[in-house]
Amino acid sequence: MARIPIMHEDDPSTPRQTRELLGEIGERRGQVLNIYRAMANHPQLAKPFVEFYVTAREGGLTQAECELAYLSATVANDCHY
């Protein structure tokens, strides 16, 4: 069971701002991953993250360059996942 609620854009109890954010994510990505659904509990924090992700992915870098950036950040931050 998730500790953080997973928001759904088709749930009438989901706040309007959150439904709009999830709809926008779905349009841009073609699907809404659960990480975005969890982050949507706080749309004011999730929106800048989504904008960053889209910019990173659509900012002119090749797939290999994106992967290199992610891996470099992982090593620099001593992440082991």
Q: 2 lies in a domain? A: no
Q: 4 lies in a domain? A: no
- Whole-number Å distance between alpha carbons of 38 and 4: 6
Q: What is the pLDDT of residue 2?
A: 63
- 8 Å CB contact between 21 and 47: yes
Identity of residue 46: A
Q: 8 lies in a domain? A: no
- End-to-end CA separation in angstroms for the chain: 22
Q: 26 lies in a domain? A: yes
- Whole-number Å distance between alpha carbons of 12 and 65: 41
**pTM to 2 decimals?**
0.67
Q: What is the pLDDT of residue 30?
A: 86
Q: What is the pLDDT of residue 16?
A: 93
Per the structure, the count of domains in the chain is 1
- Whole-number Å distance between alpha carbons of 59 and 78: 26
**pLDDT tens digit at each of 81 positions of the chain:** 668 899 999 999 999 999 999 998 898 888 999 989 999 999 888 889 888 877 777 778 888 988 898 899 899 999 876
- Look up the domain containing 55 and give its range: 16-76
